[in-house]
């Protein structure tokens, strides 16, 4: 059982580590801390317990728990006799990481491709690119777009590869 009423040096270190990992991978530190706590907790924890243990406000914890729920990283449940929600972590790390990578890469590719299309459709840019001395720019834009298309097509393989690993 995780004691959320007193300080536990191991628990504090693990929560800090989870926050560091989240931050290192461009996620919010608080998301990592909350997920880390729930990941190692053997039982569901209430919002109050989570906020107290992670040393953050209930409002901040609640906002980040909603994000984690949307990612399917945590699940809320209830206990008989109380109206509180209790949270547990989805411990299938491979699936979570794969899903987040795929979604993140897909969003970024879509953004890049839209910007490339907008660049090609912009009259001033089109005039600039149509000049003979800018043939290398047209070639680079076409190469970048081709790469984005190939990465986009390869994304479904990421999930299949994750199924093979581990």
Q: What is the pLDDT of residue 76?
A: 96
Q: What is the pLDDT of residue 164?
A: 56
Of the two residues 155 and 48, the one the predictor is more confident about is: 48
Question: 106 pLDDT exceeds 90?
Answer: no
Neighbours of 64 (CB within 10 A): 23
pLDDT single digits (tens) 131-160: 889 889 889 988 988 998 888 888 888 767
Q: What is the pLDDT of residue 11?
A: 94
pLDDT-derived band of residue 4, with 50, 70 and 90 as boundaries? low
Q: What is the pLDDT of residue 125?
A: 86
């Amino acid at each position: 059982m995780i004691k959320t009423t007193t300080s536990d040096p191991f628990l504090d270190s693990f929560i800090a580590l989870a926050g560091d990992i989240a931050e290192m991978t461009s996620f919010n530190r608080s998301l990592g801390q909350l997920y880390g706590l729930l990941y190692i907790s053997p039982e569901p924890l209430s919002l109050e317990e989570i906020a107290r243990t992670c040393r953050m406000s209930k409002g901040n914890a609640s906002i980040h728990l909603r994000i984690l729920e949307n990612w399917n990283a945590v699940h809320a449940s209830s206990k008989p006799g109380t109206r509180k929600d209790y949270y547990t972590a989805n411990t299938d790390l491979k699936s979570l990481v794969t899903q987040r990578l795929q979604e993140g890469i897909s969003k970024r590719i879509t953004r890049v491709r839209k910007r490339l299309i907008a660049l090609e459709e912009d009259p001033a840019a089109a005039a600039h690119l149509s000049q003979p001395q800018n043939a290398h720019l047209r070639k680079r834009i076409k190469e970048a777009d081709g790469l984005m298309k190939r990465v986009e097509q390869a994304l479904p393989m990421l999930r299949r590869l994750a199924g093979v690993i581990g």
